[in-house]
Chains A and B, each alone.
Chain A
Amino acid sequence: MLTVLKLLRSIWSNLNGDATPPACGAAVLIGCLLGLTPLGVQTVLLACLLLVFRVPVSLALVTCAGFKALDLLAVHQLAEGLGAWMLEEGAVTREAVVALAQLPVVGLVPFGTHQVTGGVALGLLVGLALAPAVAVGVNAYRRSLKERVTASTMYRRMEKLNRIFGGALKGGSFGGRLS
């Protein structure tokens, strides 16, 4: 529960903090990919991307959790069907997958598995659709709503809670260390 709270707090701080809108969009994209692909080498590679690039990790993890839940419920069948079609029916898609599989490091991903290929494709489609929307949304929030939210009573109460659970942070507003 504490972890969830910390994650949400971190997101909140990203929203109000210095994470750039494109970084937020990239975090959502990586989160989609993590959520829609099965566990494997691809998980490790995507986690390395999170570490290397300065994206809000908490936002990526929350996005991953959300899409993983959807994947477990119903989306994995869609991913498997999409992967089978891409590898067996689609000539252009198969060529693209083969080209990806021939790249060093990326080639470690088992693209021959339908669920992996379908998950990557679905993750890219959903992530690339959501990422710009998130970036625009963050920008719009910061231009219009941010001042109202940070001046509200609820925000001040959450800051007090942060001091109790998270300790004082430099820079004023609360948030995670890796934001």
Chain B
Amino acid sequence: MNPLRAVRWKLLAGLVVVGAAASWLGLPALLDRAISLWAEEELLSRASSGGVSLSLLSGRCTIEDLHIPDPQGGSEPLLAADRLEADLSLADLLRRRVVVEVLRVERPRATLVQDEEGRLNVEETRKEKARREGLDPREVARTARELYGKVEEGRDWVQGIRSFLAHLQAEERLGPERPAGRTPLTELGPRFVVRKLEISRLHVNLDGPSGAPGIRETAVAGQELSSDPARHDEHTGLRLQGLLGREQPAAFWLQARLEPRDGSLRTHLDRAELADLQASHLQPLLGATLPFNLDAGRVAVRATDGWIRTPDAMDVTATILVAGLKVSPKPGVASLGGFPADRLCRALSDAGTFELEVRLTGPPLAPRVDLGDFTERLMRMGAAAFRKEALRRLETRLGPDAVHLLEGGGPAVLPGVLTAEQPPGDEAPGLGKLLPSGDTNPLDLLRGGSENEQEAPAPLKLLERLRRPAGDPDSRPRDR
């Protein structure tokens, strides 16, 4: 063998051995360093882990006890997980793509803290990050306000999250443009793909004065998640099942899929169900639209059709069933649809259960809530309740026959003269038929009654009796 060729191959063999040793020893440290850098850049926090292992031969990467503290100084970690395990595709690594065949996350935890002003801790972190990158925070806030309109005014958890999402969108809009001299090769697909995601026992805590429901013991299954779903050939699917809230948790089930359409992403809700939710948790979502406050009740929600296209459109229809409802009028509202507000709310609360169909349209950050015919039904319900109440009071004062009279049973209160056997369609009984005999002038009857008052009392006298309070022995007509 040519000695020069032997030297060349020894050099190559040496490089391979050195490379293998370096990857075995150095890659886990590199990965650990990459995670720390990412946490410092994106979350302004130092990440730590119990151990990182990476094997290029098997393509498996494992991170134990990941812990990222809250950069705002909270006691709970911002992000934590007991274990992350990823099976990587080596062929795609050699094409500058990170494709994870299966990503398993055990017991991930996230904590969002809301201060007295309604600001989330993650939003404050993003603002600081934007400031460090040279973005003017006032410009970001102004752009976010244009997108949402209520930034930094929200105190409840829904508005806090909306404010944060608006801030993220404003950052993306104002952020640095794509560096010159590069053209993305969109045909290659996204650079980061997770083919299958399995998350067990997800916890998301929302701490703050608004009493937001967190997510507990949630399982997540996803497929074909990627860093750029618009360029991904496969549809992204997501299923979540878990508990919402702490003291009286509600069970929820959500199934959705992402579809790129016309250059944008559309999330289709295949199924969304919620059971045993507290009605007060719906107050931030429906409070501005409902004419009263939801104080108590248990809610079940089902949405079987709908889509969301961030950031500008959504169309979701949901059916809401409420049991044990208690509502109260909003401060300063005295009447609703012509009815006294407090009585209408009491009538609604007494009804206890009702069904409501809600349609959400418009931008997801500030959707328009359409309650359908709920307002008319509410007015009808109120009118029915008031009528019922009025009849009940009348019955208490004047007796059941007065109610019967008011409800159109008039002829039956003139015993012996007009009875229920009066066939329909016949000529209405004239005054002459009221007379026990045919001789008496009807007008006399109306003025003073008949000769035989005990047998056939005059209508006017009868009405006088009806006006007397209940309990008066003369107030009831005498039965024959």
A residues neighboring B (CB under 8 Å):
51-52, 54, 80, 84, 87-88, 97-98, 101-105, 107-108, 110-115, 177-179
Residues in A with CB closer than 8 Å to B15 are 51
Instruction: Give which listed residue, A84, A104, A112, A114, contacts B95 with CB less than 8 A.
Output: A104
Q: Tell yes or no: B12 within 8 A of A by CB.
A: yes
Instruction: Give which listed residue, B94, B96, B97, contacts A110 with CB less than 8 A.
Output: B96
A98 in contact with B187 (CB, 8 Å): yes
What are 18 inter-chain pairs, A to B, with CB distance below 8 A?
A: A51-B8, A54-B5, A80-B181, A88-B183, A98-B188, A101-B95, A102-B95, A104-B94, A105-B94, A107-B95, A107-B97, A108-B94, A110-B96, A112-B182, A113-B181, A114-B181, A114-B183, A179-B4
Q: Tell yes or no: B431 within 8 A of A by CB.
A: no
Q: Tell yes or no: B91 within 8 A of A by CB.
A: yes
A103 to B91, CA, bound (A): 9
Q: Tell yes or no: B22 within 8 A of A by CB.
A: no
Residues in B with CB closer than 8 Å to A103 are 95
Contact with A along B88-116 (1 / 0, CB 8 A): 00010011110000000000000000000
A-B contact count (CB 8 A): 53
A97 to B183, CA, bound (A): 12
Q: Tell yes or no: B11 within 8 A of A by CB.
A: yes
Q: Tell yes or no: B185 within 8 A of A by CB.
A: yes
A178 in contact with B94 (CB, 8 Å): no
A115 to B184, CA, bound (A): 13
A30 to B187, CA, bound (A): 28
A104 to B91, CA, bound (A): 6
Interface hits, B3-35 → A, CB 8 Å = 4-5, 7-8, 11-12, 15
A87 in contact with B183 (CB, 8 Å): yes
A108 to B172, CA, bound (A): 28
Residue of B nearest to A52 (CB): B12
A105 to B90, CA, bound (A): 11
Known A98-B187, A103-B95, A108-B95; further 17 A-B contacts with Cβ < 8 A: A51-B8, A51-B11, A52-B12, A80-B181, A84-B183, A98-B188, A101-B95, A101-B185, A101-B188, A102-B95, A107-B95, A107-B96, A107-B97, A108-B94, A108-B96, A110-B96, A177-B4
Residue of B nearest to A118 (CB): B181
Q: A107-B95, A108-B94, A108-B95 are in contact. Are A178 and B8 (CB under 8 A)?
A: yes
B461 nearest CB across to chain A (Å): 102
Q: A54-B5, A178-B4, A178-B8 are in contact. Are A111 and B185 (CB under 8 A)?
A: yes
Residue of B nearest to A111 (CB): B185
A115 in contact with B181 (CB, 8 Å): yes
Residue of B nearest to A51 (CB): B12
A108 to B91, CA, bound (A): 11
Residues in A with CB closer than 8 Å to B12 are 51-52
Residues in A with CB closer than 8 Å to B182 are 112-114
Q: State the 9 A-B residue pairs at the shortest beta-carbon distance, nearest first.
A: A107-B95, A104-B94, A87-B183, A98-B187, A114-B181, A105-B94, A112-B185, A51-B12, A112-B182
Residue of A nearest to B7 (CB): A177
Residues in A with CB closer than 8 Å to B97 are 107
Contact with A along B176-193 (1 / 0, CB 8 A): 000001111101100000
